Amino acid sequence: MNLETHITPGRFGGAAGTGAHLLVEGVTVRFGGLTALSEVGFEVPEGQIVGVIGPNGAGKTTLFNVVCGFTTPQDGRLSLDGAPFRPRPHRLTRHGISRSLQGLGLFEGLDVLDNIMTGAGVHARSGFWSGLLALPRADRDDRALRDRAEALADELGLGDHLHAFPSTLPYAVAKRVALARTLVSDPRLVLLDEPAGGLSHDDVQQLAELITSLPGRGCSVMLVEHHVDLVMSVCDSLVVLDFGKVIATGTPAQVRDDPAVAEAYLGAEVPSS
């Protein structure tokens, strides 16, 4: 399904900033006798899009889960904007971080607008007590968040679906709802886990347009993706994993020409175009 979108950089956060700086150093994760990640290190510079690729079982999902706080490494450290960072899934929005997961993860009992609004974790915290006590702040916060969610939905071509429920949506539309939920908190770092999964060629092209607009919104991006053509077209740099180790880093052109990468992934499993 082809969705028309109109991407306006920096629209929702006021004057766009430069994004967050994420640094991963020496991260090692073991599950019993299996080493899923071994001394993995890379960085997501301010305002850049960094892709993480590799064959199945390379450790991409484990690495994503470490950055999101779902998995705690045995060794290594993370820092955000130069300060030590210990991610916790329920506190990511406090740090200006948002994430999307491989699946849609939409709430079937909520319509599109309410699903998008759930992406603003701060709303759930500040609005609960204000709402319970019937404070005016609750109404103001809710209205501001609703306005932001509606504007974002319009921008992503979801304006005609605001009151639809996820089960009634085509998959490509539901994907855009999940992405809108990721952006509604005005994040400085966006973590995307295989956002192109299940999308048609036309939808992937539009996804690429959206991802490349994120630095203009004041976002840095970490993109974990199997769709090699997508990461090659949108990323400033790439990190290549194989058997839990970083085997190459560099620009898309540098990675494409790296013999170790060709042997481990690109040449064998997904021919480069």
What would the pLDDT profile of 118-167 be if each residue is shown by its tens digit?
888 644 444 444 444 455 555 676 788 888 899 989 988 898 999 999 99
Cβ atoms of 1 and 200 closer than 8 Å: yes
Rounded to the nearest integer, the mean pLDDT of the chain is: 84
Domain boundaries, the chain: 1-8+17-96+187-273, 108-185
Task: Name the CATH topology of 1-8+17-96+187-273.
Answer: Rossmann fold (3.40.50)
Question: What digits encode the pLDDT tens for the residues 211-257?
Answer: 999 999 899 999 999 888 899 999 999 999 999 999 999 999 999 88
Cβ atoms of 50 and 27 closer than 8 Å: no
pTM of the predicted structure, to 2 decimals: 0.83
Q: How confident is the model at residue 72 (pLDDT cuts 50, 70, 90)?
A: very high
Q: Is 76 exposed, middle or buried (0-12, 13-18, 19+ CB in 10 A)?
A: middle
Mean pLDDT, range 96-110, rounded to an integer: 86
pLDDT (0 to 100) of residue 265? 62
Tell which wins on pLDDT, 267 or 177.
Answer: 177
pLDDT (0 to 100) of residue 102? 74
How far is residue 19 CA from its own chain's centroid?
A: 13
